[in-house]
Amino acid sequence: MKPFEYATALTVESARQLAGANGHYLAGGNDLLGRLKDDITEASRLVNIKAIPGLNRIEPGPQTWRIGALVTIAQIEDHPEIRRVFPGLHQAAAEVGSQQIRNVATLGGNLAQHSRCWYYRHRDIQCLKKRGRICYALEGDNRYHALFTGNVCISPVVSNLAIALTALDATAVVWRDGQERRMTMAELYELAWDNPTAHHSLRPGDLLLRVEIPTVRPRSAYLQISDKHSFDWALVSCAAAARIENGRIHNARIALGCVSPVPHQVTAANQFLEGKNLDEATADQVADLLLAGAQPQEHNAYKIPMARALIRRTLLQLRG
Amino acid sequence: MKPTDASSTGRLSRRDFFKGLGTTAVAAAAAQAESVAQELQKLNAEKVLGPGPVPVTLKVNGKTHRLELEPRVTLLDALRNHLGLTGPKEGCDRAACGACTVWLDGVAIYACQKLAIDAQGHEITTVEGLTPDGRLTPVQQAFVERDALQCGYCTPGFVMSVSALLRKKPKPTVDDVLHACAGNVCRCGTHPRVLEAALIAAGVRPVSMTRTEVISHV
Ligand SMILES: Cc1cc2nc3c(=O)[nH]c(=O)nc-3n(C[C@H](O)[C@H](O)[C@H](O)COP(=O)(O)OP(=O)(O)OC[C@H]3O[C@@H](n4cnc5c(N)ncnc54)[C@H](O)[C@@H]3O)c2cc1C
Ligand code: SF4
Ligand code: FES
Ligand code: FES
């Protein structure tokens, strides 16, 4: 790592000021230190945000739960009430990396992590996402890349928690320009749809404070398929959340991960589910709607049948 | 690399640092590592440190160490190259192999993906610190009994992961052990033996667990 300055912020505002133009917030450091070691990211200063009070709390509520940006993924995984109220979030947390990573990695860092595209992560490659001229994945090895994109970059969003939180329709609360700003999960990532250099919609200096999760969907599930059985990124992931009454599904939301620069949702798929019986035929129709218009690259067409299988399994898991 | 410069941007000189700690805390430093760490955190807070060496206080295996480190130095580097604790190994240096596993306040972390300066105020435990008298813990004993190592490079990391699990869950299932050890990899392929050692140390070896079943789990 190149030398950098270091400061510990005690308030949200001082974090922002200390970070200045070329400083980076340091939470668990799993993503940031990896990028600094490989010269993917330049930092003149790291601002440790872990001493800012109030951001490491899990606050249950009858209508809404608040989970602070500094809560670790292990805390989410191990929280017995989260397991009961938001099982999909529990499952997504349990699949992140390894125990050692989950013990330090934070919710905020997981949502704000950068692309895992191997060209982006290569110290000698200056691709479009690093403000170079071309995307190397389009002509190169794109087995882990996206089926959808709104720009040229086909690097998908890989945060497990983003997918589970999208299905649960969580709101991200961000500190921007001296005030709290609320974003849907779609808004938290929409910039990455249009802009090849973006990983999410956060601007330099924006600080994620917490996510707020409504309790209106008591059933939720998250499943992923990876190359390796454990300690591996998802090839495709799927999360769904809903309320089930008399065997019928209501208020459903379903999202796919690792197939688009944003958590992949299709409004028509969510609407189609309203009032349906959860069976394989319904799941297949949802898969048609979610995967319509997919544009596989040379090496990633396998993601389409994989996504279909995951959509079916995840939806059927909602039946309990 | 720039030398430490106390004059501008609120950076601290070594002298300021000790002044700031206050005489009481310094006098009782060894006994009251925690209050030192707290004071230190308050003192360091909101101040810009580095990029040159700055005072860093680490509590490792119950002892407090004062070091001068650049902020970019990782905890693994500090342990191995500044404190001579070579139990934690460097494998990947990218949070991907588990050779560097140590405890931070009793839970397993990768020492390679944590800055030493960011580990201040926490209790670090390396494999050397598992027993004060150098005798083997039941987990280590089980590793020996089951011959759960070949070259041994990954072993301290596995021992730390297994021991952390048993602190949290003294009677783990096979799946618990696999989940807790998924972030440790062994190039010599000792995983099935490590699983057996973990279950033996916990005294939960299921009768039905044949070696084949164990391997098919991994
Ligand atoms: C080997 C390996 C395997 C992994 N596997 C998975 C996996 O399977 N699934 C998965 O989802 N992830 C996986 N990860 C990614 C890991 O979960 C993330 O790196 C981690 O969650 C990041 O959190 P952190 O607290 O360590 O973030 P940091 O590294 O501290 O920060 C990450 C980024 O977010 C910014 N940031 C941090 N907190 C905030 C905040 N509150 N507001 C604004 N910006 C912020 C930082 O400035 C930085 O740019 C893996 C990582 C590794 C190294
Ligand atoms: S997919 Fe995106 S991150 Fe990967 S090489 Fe192309 S532009 Fe770069
Ligand atoms: S050296 Fe830290 S995980 Fe490999
Ligand atoms: S015993 Fe050789 S790496 Fe595990």
pLDDT digits (tens, 9 = 90+) for A62-95: 999 999 999 999 999 999 999 999 999 999 999 9
Q: Does the C-beta of A40 come closer than 6 Å to ligand 2?
A: no
| Cβ contact, residue pair A103, B108, below 8 Å | yes
The β-bridge relationship of strands A248-257 and A236-245 is antiparallel
* Mutate: best of B11, B73, B118, B122, partner A, most A CBs <10 A: B118
What's residue B44's pLDDT?
67
Sheet containing strand B54-60, edge to edge, reads: B63-69, B54-60, B123-125, B101-104, B107-110
Look up the CATH architecture of domain A58-113+155-317: 2-Layer Sandwich (3.30)
A12 in contact with B at a CB cutoff of 8 Å?
A: no
Residues in B closer than 8 angstroms to A100, CB to CB, are 95, 98, 101, 108-110, 161, 183
What fold characterizes domain A1-52? 3.30.43
Same domain assignment for residues B107 and B176: no
Last residue of a domain, one of B111, B130, B149: B130
Q: How far apart are CA B190 and CA B106, in angstroms?
A: 25
First and final C-alpha spacing in chain B: 46
DSSP single-letter state for residue B11:
P
- Rounded Cα distance between B54 and B73, Å, is 11
Number of domains in chain B: 2
Instruction: Give the CATH number for residue B121.
Output: 3.10.20.30
Distance CA A165, CA A158 (A): 13
Higher pLDDT, A120 or B215: A120
Q: Give the closest residue (by CA) to ligand 4 atom 4.
A: B186
Domain end marker among B130, B155, B170: B130
Q: Quick one: pLDDT band at residue B42, thresholds 50, 70, 90? A: low
The verdict on A94 touching B (C-beta cutoff 8 Å) is: yes
From-to residues of CATH 3.30.390.50 in chain A: 58-113+155-317
Residue of chain A whose alpha carbon sits nearest to that of B162: A99
What is the model's pLDDT at position A228?
93
Question: Is the pLDDT assigned to residue B36 strictly greater than 70?
Answer: no
Residue B87 lies in a domain: yes
Q: Alpha carbon A198 to chain centroid distance?
A: 14
Residues 286-315 of A with CB under 8 A from B: none
Q: Is the pLDDT of residue B4 over 80?
A: no
- A-B Cβ pairs (cutoff 8 Å, strict): 109
Q: Which contacts of A247-250 are long-range, i.e. CB under 8 A and separated by 24 or more positions? A: A247/A277, A247/A278, A247/A319, A248/A275, A248/A276, A248/A277, A249/A273, A249/A274, A249/A275, A249/A276, A249/A277, A249/A278, A249/A318, A250/A274, A250/A275
Domain boundary among B130, B147, B162: B130
Q: Is the pLDDT of residue A242 over 90?
A: yes
Q: Quote the CA–CA distance of A57 and A75 in Å, as a whole number.
A: 10
For residue A291, give the 3-state DSSP assignment.
helix
pLDDT at B43 over 80: no
* Closest CA–CA distance from residue A216 to any residue of chain B (Å): 31
| B61 domain residue, yes or no | yes
What the block records as the tokens of B124 is: 């670090």
Dihedral pair phi/psi, residue A315, rounded to 5°: -65, -45
How many angstroms away from the CA of B193 is the closest CA of chain A?
18
pLDDT band at A21 (very low <50, low <70, confident <90, very high): confident
CA of B180 to nearest chain A CA: how many angstroms apart?
Answer: 6
Residue type, B185: V
Q: Do A30 and B113 touch (CB under 8 A)?
A: yes
pLDDT of A320 reads 81
Q: What is the mean pLDDT of residues A13-38?
A: 96
Query: How do residues A103-132 score in pLDDT, each as one tens digit?
Result: 999 999 999 999 999 999 999 999 999 999
Q: Give pTM, 2 decimals.
A: 0.92
Residue B33 pLDDT > 60: no
Residue B154 shares a structural domain with residue B120: no
Give the C-alpha separation, A311 to A286, whole Å.
8
Residue A13 pLDDT exceeds 70 = yes
Cβ of A116 under 8 Å from any chain B Cβ? no
Residue entry with tokens 């931070």: B104
Ligand 3: lining residues by beta carbon, under 6 Å? B 90-93, 95-100, 110, 112
Interface pTM, i.e. ipTM: 0.96
Contact flag B95-A18 (C-beta cutoff 8 Å):
no
Name the one residue in this structure whose structure tokens are 């070579």. B86
Same structural domain, B55 and B101: yes
Q: What is d(CA B34, CA B120) in angstroms, rounded to the nearest whole number?
A: 10
Q: Does the bond joining B51 to the residue before it have cis omega, within 30 degrees of 0?
A: yes
**Chain segment A262-306, per-residue pLDDT in tens:** 999 999 999 999 999 999 999 999 999 999 999 999 999 999 999
Give the chain A residue nearest B183 (alpha carbons). A98
Question: pLDDT of A134-182, one tens digit each?
Answer: 999 999 999 999 999 999 999 999 999 999 999 999 999 999 999 999 9
Q: What does the pLDDT look like over B114-171, one tens digit per residue?
A: 999 999 999 999 999 999 888 999 999 999 999 999 999 999 999 999 999 999 999 9
Residues of chain A with CATH 3.30.43.10: 1-52
Confidence band, pLDDT 50/70/90 cuts, at residue A231: very high
Strand order across the A58-59 sheet:
A58-59, A64-68, A207-214, A171-176, A179-184
- Provide the domain limits for residue B183: 136-218
Name the minimum distance, in Å, from the CA of B71 to any CA of chain A: 6
Q: Are A207 and A12 in contact (CB under 8 A)?
A: yes
Nearest-CA neighbor of B171 among B125, B202, B135, B140? B202
Helices (H), B73-208: 75-77, 138-145, 155-168, 174-181, 191-202
| pLDDT over 90 (residue B207) | no
Question: What's phi and psi for A238, nearest 5 deg?
Answer: -145, 135
- Assign residue B192 the CATH number of its domain: 1.10.150.120
Q: Relative to the CA of B149, which ligand 4 atom is closest? A: 1
- The residue of chain B with its CA nearest to that of A9 is B46
- Looking at the fold, whether B111 and B180 belong to one and the same domain comes out as no
Q: Does one domain contain both B151 and B189?
A: yes
Is B39 within the bounds of a domain?
A: no
Residue A284 — left, alpha, or beta (φ > 0 → left; ψ -120 to 50 → alpha)? alpha
Q: Return the pLDDT at B25.
A: 35
- Residue B83 identity (one-letter amino acid): L
